Structures are given as C-alpha cells and as structure tokens.
Structure 1
Amino acid sequence: MQAIRPAPIASDDTFIEGRSRATIEGHRLRTMPNPLPLPFRHPLVAAVLLCAGAPASAQQPDAPVDTVRMPELPAAEIDQSLAIGGEEIAAHKLRSRMTVGVLVNGAGPYDFVVDSGADTSAVGSALAGKLALPETEPALLHGITESKIVDRVWVDELRLGNTVTMGLETPVLDERDMGGDGMIGLDALVNQRLMMDFDERIITVDDAREKDEAMTDGVIVVTGRLQRGQLILTEVAAGRERVEAVVDTGSEITIGNLALRNRLVRKRSRGFDTVTVYGVTGAALELEFTVVKNLRLGSITLQNVPMAFADIPPFAVFGLDEKPSLLLGTDLMENFRRVSLDFADRKVRFQLRKCHHAAITMRTSTRASRIRASDERACS
C-alpha cells in the first residue's frame, strides 16, 4: 500500500517563557542564554478536551451542558506484538505533533491534529462556518489551561482514511489555538488502532474489531486501564514513584500533577523554572518546569526528562488528581520510531530506533536524555 507523503514543512521555533529560553528542535532541547519572555502563541499544549457537566461552584455563564458518552470497554492486558494494519495516511509533523487529512461531511481534506488525550473531536470556527454546520447545545470543555463553556456543532461524518465516524457533536474552537482545522479525539478513535511513525511521518489507522497483522519488528507493550474511555497506563514510574499516565498526542510537553511533583522534589534545594503554555481556548497558564532523572515506560527507561507540573483540569476528570500522574506529550514520543495506540484492546506499544549499547540521546547544553530498553524486543 502506497502512502502519499507531504512536502517538508518548515518547523517553527518554540520559545518557552521563564528563567531560560529554549528551542525545541526534533529530539534536541537546547538551552539558550539571556532569557527573553517570549511565549509561543500557538498551543504548546494542544488540548485535552473533556466535555462534562459543570460543577455547581463553577463560575460559568448559565448554559446547557452535556456529557460525552464513550463506549464501555473491558480491562487491560499485555500483548508483545505491534499489531497495526489498515490504511496509511500521510501526516504533517507540526513541531512534534501530527496532523492528518480528514474529510468533514465529505468535504476536504482538512488538517486535523490527532489528540489521544481528548475525549471529543473538535472543528475550527472558520471551518464550521464554511461548511454551515448546524449548531447544537453548548457544553463545558475542560482544557489544559481552563474550563469553559463552548459552542458545539453537529457533524454528520468524519472520515479518517477508511475509518468513518458518524453523528458527532463537536466543540467549535479557534483554528489558531488548535494548530489545525480541527482535532480528532477519542470519539473517533475509540474503536481504532492508531500507529504514529515519527520517522516516516505516517499515521496508520484500522478497525480494532478486525483481526490485526503482527509486525516483525520488536516492541515494548505498556498495559493500561480505562477511565471515561481514556487509556491510562499503569506500568510507568518517575524516579522511584509509580505513576499512572495518559498518552496525549495533542500535547507537546509532558505534564505531571502536583502529587507527583511533591514526591519527586521533597529534598529539592533550588526553585523551579517556569514555562507558559496556551490551551485550545487561547488561555495561558504558567507551569513549573524541571528535569526528572528517570522515567520508565514498561521496560524502557528515559533519563533526564523535561517535565512540567500543575494540577490541570484533565487530572481531576480522569480521577488522577490525588495520585502521582502524568500526561505523556509528543516531546517524549517523537524519540521513538513508532508509537501504537490500540484503544479497544488497551495496548500502547513503543518501538525504539536503537537500544542497549546504542541508546538514543537527547542533548541540552548541560544535560543529555538517554533512552534504553531492558527487553531486546524493543530493538529495531
């Protein structure tokens, strides 16, 4: 099967506001002297979209709210094969995130960000107007940086490759805040297998209910459980602390909650750096930022991992606000050759470019992040 690859696109420098300024370039995080407060306008964290009923104390205008209903899914299990067939879809690499061409009600394709941390897809306001999508009831959206009542529209059909999702109520957001014409969330992915090939810039999607084809390349599988339809990984540790983690392909930075921060930095003598991020509603949020010595995903260990910390709304929605937890961003995932998400079978697979004696290195001016595997099946 032949995939059409997009022409290379120029990558934008991402400026982080705080004591130091950094430029994220692929695998490299290079610290630059003479800090200048210059926050990056496009969303460093694309989104976690979580439509839910508004709490009684929420300071929001009176408006109808709704709850997204996700299919019931069984418990998690381990599988050591990277099983992805289906159709390959050319993907642009937008900094470290992936965007793919999506047909909306048969029109397009339009560039949508793939966001595995969002339980609902979204469309841009300009696209909704262009296609004259009918308005439905507003809903409360829990984003990375704020919770807000947003308008929604009715979408008859979203087509991603050969995968079609029918009858969706989607939030309407500004394209500049999303980084694309829209976003593909769990409502369109929950019955799919999704593989992101960061080397080839290819996204492969197929129906998880059909028999899959095992790949010969070795992989490491991390088990998970499901909460509100979201795949939560349980074989994860930061330092010596066991944590639960969500793979968030819509976020360009890895974020831990304050429960994790407090356990990791009990004896920390110096303060934190800070980073300013923008969510899909355009709101800004300043997060504490540091480097964590070790992060383990199954049998894969990453060393000197950049990580931000805050009690952002998604942790509470997933029931992860009181236990050490993480949102794994694409800043980490792009260091792998491929990452596979199988929502129906509760399996996340990581495939390294190299391993053992040839560990991957992500260098900064003073630190180097290294990835190694204790299981030879992760070699490629």
Structure 2
Amino acid sequence: MGRHRLTGSGAMGLGALAIGLAMVGLMTAGAPLAAQDAPALDPAVPPAIVRTGPSPDERVTIPIHIDGKGPWNFIIDTGSQRTVIARDLAEQLALPPRANVTILSMTGRTEAETVAVPKLGFGGGTIDDIEAPVLEGENLGAPGLLGLDSLHAKRLLLNFRTGRMEISASGGSRRRIAIDPDAIVVEARRRRGQLILLDSEVNGMTVAVMLDTGSHFSIGNLALRDRLIAKKRAPDMVEAVLTSVTGGQLTGQVGRIKSVRMGRVNLIQVPVLFADASPFAELGMKDKPALLLGISALRIFDRVAIDFGRGKVDFLLPDASAISQTQLAAAVPPDKLPGQ
C-alpha cells in the first residue's frame, strides 16, 4: 500500500484512485440514498481539542481585532474547543502569559502555553478575557483560530457563493433569524460544544456526523472504517500521513465514501481519511462510527449556517446550473451510480 502525506494544507496526491477534494458530489434534496513560565499542568483539567488547519486558498477566515488592533484573518474552526493564537502574533502584541494547558490535536496530546487576550472583536461583537493557547503559526497556517469558546452562543454563516463569513447572535436568543425557504434544516445535539447532526448516514449506516470548518478534509474514525469493511461497503484505500496544527503526525488510510447523508441532503464521492484521531475518544466516540466533515465537502453548498444556540444547521443547495458535471452524476438514480 502506498503512502501519501496530508499536511495541514490538505494536499492529497492519490494517484490511480484520483481522490481529489474537488470530486465531492451533491445529491439534491429529496429521499436519502436507501430510499433515495507558567504553572504545571493540572491533570484534573480536561484537554482542549484542536483540529488540523486547512490550506490558505481553502480556509474559512474572518477579520479579528485584538484589543483594538488589527485586523488579522483567523480561521473559523468549529472543531476547536479553544480560540488559538499564533506565537509570532502573541509576541508582537506582548500578550501576558497564563497557565500551561494540554492541547488535544488530531495526532495526540501536547503541552502548550496560553496568553491572555483582553478583548477579541469580530463583526459587530466582542468577547472579553479569552485565555488562548499559543501554537506555531507555520502549523496553524494563519494568525489564529477562532474556536467554539467564541462561537457557543452564536450563529455562523458561511456563504461560499459570495465568500462572505458572518457571526451573529443565535436564533435561539430573542433575536429572530430569517431562514431561507429553500434551505434544508438539519437538527443537531450538543456534546462538549460540538453539534452532532441527527439523522445522518454514511453508505446507508447510521453515523455521528460533525462539521469541522477548521479541517480541509474529512476524517472518519476507525470504528467507521471497520463497520464499512464488515458491511462490505468500504472504499478502496491508500495509506496517508496527516500533520496536525501541533506538528504531530498520524498515519491513516484515505478513500472515497459513496454517500454521506444529512437529513435530506446527500454528498457523494467524499474523500475521507480514516485514522485513530484523538478527538474521537475525547468526545466518547472511539468505538462509535463517527465522521468529521471538512470544509472541502461543505464548499459544495451555496451557504451553510451553523446555529449553536438553536442546535440546527441550515444547508442551501446550489442551483442546478452551478453544479459541475461530476456533481451532476448525483442526479442519476442511486442504483445507477458508479460502483453500485
């Protein structure tokens, strides 16, 4: 089995398998496939979860001001429990040090310093007194990550058609949010700040699906891989090496999943890295099939709105004229799809 390297930029040279991130297809709304100097570490404090960063051309960023200075473009990372700042920016701003913490990245645990961020501003809002872990900017691929500690009561709108990213108050607050009548709404439950989509399947099997805007590619746990193999629904796979935001490495296998269904939405031919990534165990999903859906898969939609207050995700499908020829293959009846 050949070995390929997946860095934080999400590069995937996969040869004969032709597994490219641009090859994610979309099933239009309808029936699902089957029917259609810091103190020592405190061991009692659980580690924060930090994910792998995307490439500069694919990352989802938002301008951030720190104590009135800036802006700097931070990656919006729904897979990171903590807001993270690059070391060179923390030093430039002379942010005061705080406690050391344990960071849990895709590749395992590592110790990190934290700094006090007095005021963090984005859009029309601000957050005071953030304690942010410090990581190397070359691994982050950005001046920082905006994590769930800054998003927990917010609504995140990712408009891939216009390239505009917005953060506003949740629709679960007194503020009323207008929902596009053409959007497909998928409900979710919360676990450690994450939203886990309900009514989700991979190749016809029930799976916990989470959206990870900080990862370029999608990552499945070994429980998902093993279930697919047992059900004879596994894709062809090649070995790959992932490099995380902490610089650590993890070996896994990459293959294309035929179908990822979320409510009435189906994605087809989704490239996925299957690996024993540490966050799955931290979320209590080491032995349960689970998938982190990365930004490359989400970009096929015109718009995705993640409302952490309401516990809902709204997907707006692209117009048929905007779907590429590869994606139009999704209009073929399920039993006529390639490989069926």
Structure-1-length-normalised TM-score: 0.72
Q: Does 2:28 align with 1:16?
A: no
**AA of the residue aligned to 2:307:** D
In the alignment, the residues of structure 2 paired with residue 239 and residue 362 of structure 1 have an alpha-carbon distance, to the nearest angstrom, of 22
SS in 2 for 1:316: helix
SS at match of 1:211: coil
Please say if 1:225 is aligned against 2:189: yes
1:41 paired residue number: none
Letter in 2 for 1:323: K
Q: Note the alpha carbon deviations across 1:95-129, whole angstroms, 9 max, x for none.
A: 33211110012110011000011111000000100
Q: Does 1:352 align with 2:317?
A: yes
C-alpha distance in structure 1 between counterparts of 2:116 and 2:325, whole Å:
43
Q: Secondary structure at the match of 1:97?
A: coil
- Confirm or deny that 1:242 pairs with 2:206: yes
Asked if structure 2 preserves the Cα contact closer than 8 Å seen for 1:124 and 1:173, the reply is yes
Structure 2 matches for 1:24-43, cutoff 5 A? 27-28=22-23
1:3-152 counterparts in 2 under 5 A?
15-16=11-12, 27-28=22-23, 63-64=41-42, 66-67=45-46, 94-152=56-114
Q: Which consecutive unaligned segments of at least 5 residues does structure 1 have?
A: 1-11, 30-61, 70-92, 375-380
The SS at the match of 2:121 is strand
Change (3 A) 1:370 1:246: farther
Q: What is the deviation of 1:210?
A: 3.8
Is 161-170 or 215-224 further displaced after alignment? 215-224
Alpha-carbon distance in 2 for matches of 1:138, 1:215: 42
Residue 138 of structure 2: which of 154, 176, 191 is its match?
176
Q: Secondary structure at the match of 1:314?
A: helix
Q: Which runs of 4+ in 1 moved over 6 A?
A: none
The CA distance in 2 between the partners of 1:234 and 1:216, in whole Å, is 21
Aligned with 2:215 (options 235, 251, 256): 251
Greater CA drift, 260-269 or 192-201: 260-269
Deviations 1:336-378 (A, max 9, x none): 00010000110111111035xx693474xxxx68556x9xxxx
Distance 1:269 1:110, change over 3 A: closer
- Tell me the CA shift for residue 216 of structure 1: 3.8
Residues 213 and 162 of structure 1: CA distance in aligned 2, closer, same or farther (over 3 Å): same
Q: 1:174 to 1:286 in 2, by over 3 A?
A: same
Indicate conservation of the 8 Å contact 2:208/2:289, yes or no: yes
* Distance in 2 of aligned mates of 1:198 and 1:286: 31
Match of 1:3 in 2: none
Aligned residue for 2:177, secondary structure, equals coil
CA spacing shift, 1:126–1:296, aligned 2, 3 Å: same
**CA separation of 1:200 and 1:24: change in aligned 2, threshold 3 A:** farther
CA distance in 2, matches of 1:362, 1:252: 22
Are the counterparts in 2 of residues 68 and 119 from structure 1 also a CA contact under 8 Å?
no
**Bigger RCO (CA 8 Å, 6+ sep):** 2
2:237 aligned partner: 272
Alignment match, 2:299: 334
Aligned residues of 1:14 and 1:22 also touching (Cα < 8 A): no
User: CA offset at residue 184 of structure 1?
Assistant: 0.2
Shift of 1:15: 3.4
2:178 to 214, 233, 237: 214
Alpha-carbon distance, 1:292 to partner: 1.3
* Partners of 2:163 and 2:154 in 1: CA distance: 19
Residue 278 of structure 2 is aligned to residue 313 of structure 1: yes
* Structure 2 spans left out of the alignment, 5+ residues: 1-7, 25-39, 49-54, 334-340
Conserved? CA contact 1:18–1:274, under 8 Å = no
- In the other structure, the counterpart of 2:252 is 287
Could you tell me whether the CA contact under 8 Å between 2:19 and 2:255 is conserved in 1? no
Shift in Å, 1:64 = 3.6
C-alpha change, 1:353 and 1:18, in structure 2 (3 Å) is closer
Correspondence for 1:185 among 147, 155, 162? 147
Inter-CA distance 288–94: structure 2 relative to 1 (3 Å threshold): same
Percent identity for Structure 1 against Structure 2: 31
Alpha-carbon RMSD across the aligned residues, in angstroms, is 2.9
Aligned residues of 2:203 and 2:233 also touching (Cα < 8 A) = no
3-state SS of the aligned residue for 1:94? coil
The range that moved more, 217-226 or 271-280, is 271-280
Q: Partners in 2 of 1:23 and 1:163 — Cα distance?
A: 40
